[in-house]
Amino acid sequence: MAVQPILKYPHPVLKKLCKRVEVIDQCIVDLIRDLVDTMHAGPGSVGVAASQIGVTLRVCVVDVSKNRLGKENNHGLLCMINPEIAARSGLAVMREGCMSVPDYTGDVDRATEVTVRFSESDGSSREITASGFEAVALQHEMDHLDGVLFLDRIVSIKTGLFRRKNYS
């Protein structure tokens, strides 16, 4: 479909709780296409949530397969409707960035492994277990659906927030 503009912090939509998708129709399929196109257009992007393009529905996409950190351990392109974390384990501090907060990165506590349940665009249910960088990306995008930014999860505002030098 089309690359959509990314909302930037402090846009109020980024802090909204997104609504569950009740019916998977052509509008949802088109939304997923827009999210994928927008993700691929973003410099170094590995995911986009619907709220980042101004749509407050529980839909997001993640694909870490082209990133050096996720190349060896990934599920490819994940287009998730109403995703939920069913289980999580491990804990690590990870450096995160976000297209909605383009000037900063931050150290965030994340589970190192998550099991996620979601619907796909054809209505089928799927469950995956992800680890490492993919697990972090999934948690990051799912946080957007709850109106949570990585800024809200920084381990230390004094020592864990960094001005971004570039996107690579």
What is the residue extent of each domain of the chain?
A: 12-163
| Phi and psi, residue 143, nearest 5° | -60, -40
Provide the percentage of residues in the chain whose pLDDT is more than 70: 98
CA distance 121 to 36: 13
**Residue 141: active-site member:** yes
Q: Tell me the whole-structure pTM to 2 decimals.
A: 0.96
Distance, CA of 91 to CA of 110 (rounded, Å)? 6
Q: Tokens 């980024």 appear where? A: 14
pLDDT in tens, the chain (168 residues): 699 999 999 999 999 999 999 999 999 999 999 999 999 999 889 999 999 999 999 999 999 999 999 999 999 999 999 999 999 999 999 999 999 999 999 999 999 999 999 999 999 999 999 999 999 999 999 999 999 999 999 999 889 999 987 654
Asked whether 119 and 28 are in contact (CB, 8 A), the reply is: no
Which tens digits make up the pLDDT trace of 29-72?
999 999 999 999 998 899 999 999 999 999 999 999 999 999 99
Residue 117 — φ and ψ, nearest 5°? -110, 140
Identified catalytic residue from 84, 120, 134, 141: 141
- The domain 12-163 having CATH identifier 3.90.45.10: the answer here is yes
